[in-house]
Structure 1
Amino acid sequence: MTALPTTTPRARLLPLAVEALLALGVLASLGWTLHFFLEYGYLPQPFVFDTNDTYMDWFNTAYWANNRGAYDVWRSIYPPLSFVFLDATSLPGCYLQSPFWARDCDWLARATIHGFYLIDVALAWVCFRRLDRRTAPMRTIAVALGLPMLFTIERGNLILVAFAFFMVAHGPVTASKPWRWFAAAVTINFKPYLVLPMLAHAVKRDWRPLEIAGIATAALYLVTLALVGSGTPGELVSNTANWVVFQGAQVWNEVNYSTSYAPFMMFRTLDIPLLQFVPSRLVETIEFTVPIVIRSTQLMALAALAAAWLQPRALPLHRISAILLGAYLVTQSPGGYTQLFLLFLVLMERWQGAGPIAAITAAYLLCLIGDWPLATVLDVASNSWLGERTVTASFGLTAGHFIRPGLVALIVWALSLDSIARVVRAHRDQRPSLGLVAA
């Protein structure tokens, strides 16, 4: 008999070497960003061009957690849990004036931001180490020091808090189902679009976790609604409609760090004379190509989900969650930092097969910090809160504006094609099971 070929030590080390190089790329980009900050006093693109706005996602929200009018004056789209949490982790006396004054006053809030960053890093390490000890250091570096996480910290966004519970709900942190269901409820009450990864249970026809997590989500919402006294479904729907209109007038902010090409469709509505900086043919190409990219990616994700429904045992839960969330992020962008959830799910994949390898590589590339300017559009003179000095920050059209949404779409395509191939192989071996499956 002919002996079966075995994997050589060199072949086993090659994937680790590639991931190590990708992680070193993330560290190198971090080093370049620190050098830029020390020289110029502000963070380069895609960090926001308002250099005095650091942490203000947190403190603007915390201001309304300590004052009335969150839903009828500020028109918040956050569910009440955000305000309950921020009220419990802030010093009320610091919110008698402006949110900017509170940022300098409220040491407890700043400590909470930094504390949850450390919790996120620790949980990411636990998850990746339990999945694969060899790749855990590289993947933890990508999550902890990559652009999505650092952008989240700079914004002070509540994704920092939601991400910790997301890893408990979707990663190998605990085997306790009640804790996972509770964590899922917390994530959805912080960021409602995180219901999408939970719908992977429906695709696998594993209804019990979905039902209990849904009950926990509703219960937590009702409790926090009672504590805040506002934030009803009607208020949230009305404020979301108002937010969509508001964001439509903030095209440049949307394009700057996006998961989707959709904001590019609003280029012609910019107050800035963009055609002075880029050729009209490029704008026309964008307007023609963007709908094709979005629709084709949606169809590919739908095909993969349909295949997963036919063979629910063929794919792991995190894979289906990644496709669901990725398809949403390709369709519209709730902010570049939302990639953090998608990248975590992708980095739970094994470096095995063309699809997962392409997706993992794209995830590392999305963690690279900094950008390649193509044309300067804005020169903004303002105070830099981080640099503690007045700076003139230059921002404009960059290569990352085009590359990053494409990498998110690539992740969806790579995982979807691999999923369909896995289902086809499983279908050959076993007929579809129409009954319920275990988790």
Structure 2
Amino acid sequence: MLLQMICGGECPMSFGLDALETYDWSRLVHAYGQATDTPGHLRRLARHDGAAWEDTIVHLHTAVTHQGSVYPATAPVAIIIARLLQEPGFDRPISYSWREPQPLRAHLLDFLATVAEGTEPDRSESELWLIYHNTRQRDPDEPWDIESPAWAYDAVMECRSIAPALVDPVLRCLSDDDPRTRVAATSAAVALCLVPTVSSRRAEIVAIVEDRAWDAATFHERAEALRILDRFGGVSKSFLSDRHPGIQLVAAFSSSLAHDPDSASAVWDAVTDRERAAVWYSDSLSPLATIGWPNHLLHQAVDRVANFADLLPTAVVVAATSLHSTTFRDLEILLERAFPEVFSPGDSLNDEQRIFLRTLLDNSSLWESAPPRASRELDVSLALVGLPADHASLSAIVSC
């Protein structure tokens, strides 16, 4: 296999930055060619410098893995990253690209989840061989010819080979102090348990996820665990009567319960009950973008309710809520339902539209203290239905 070839036959399972010297990086490639720059990126993790960390995370997600693919350099990097997960300084939040800030440890867990997904767990080894194997003789001087798919099969199989060694380091992160890291660990653990070489631990990991769906410390952790559990078709109907109305909705929208009549009732009750809708925004850990709560659930709920008048209690809650990570996406969904026809100058508002927009205008957090990017999102949402983006002009329309 790849690691034995690179290490000359005897390759212990080394972890941590001390393992960087174990590999001949000139004989490994990532998405952009020889991986000789990868050790330098990994060493930046020891610097406890936010900008350096961001650069490394970008390298992991664009070069070491790329658009779901793994490379000969991926497996060595993954086992090194797994050993670094418990570094005490890695609880410091960073962000990169458009992503929400989260601890570096959570970003590293996301990388390991990507590695697991890149093993194409739904395909058998023989299927992968047929897809990737190139029968032409490899050039011994260029064993990882980037133009040839010959290395691709080996890269996938090597990531499958090392996947079992990643499980325990990931599971230890389930007890992390930061809920964002715990959510990332849950996702990574499930991604790993789908890899064929980790099948012996699948039942154990699914049981852990189900326990978290019942007992995790925050709503968002429970919702994410429940969403993941749905990948195994294992969402119990008992979640429809959970103590948390939000969890009832997560269960209601699971594929496991999609055709259950009690599921439809839970959706209807949630979107027509103002007090229940308010619970959607009660969790202070709302920036967990992995869930997109309540946006994706609201989207599905809106699709099930044809009359905006029935949605008005929920729309008022959303419009009155202090700025939230999904506020503008939620408002866009509701505005599109409130205005099925684009508003034009001279049009009149109906009573429901007027109440919704008046509530929106009264929410100072959306107009006075929203960051510029958020303000632009509100502008776009209003423009999509033909409404002006400035407070004074919209207020004039509502007052008519």
Report the TM-score when normalising by structure 1: 0.24
Q: State which structure, 1 or 2, has the greater radius of gyration over its C-alpha atoms.
A: 2
What is the TM-score when the length of structure 2 is the normalising length?
0.25
Which gives a bigger RCO, structure 1 or 2 (Cα 8 Å, sep 6+)? 1
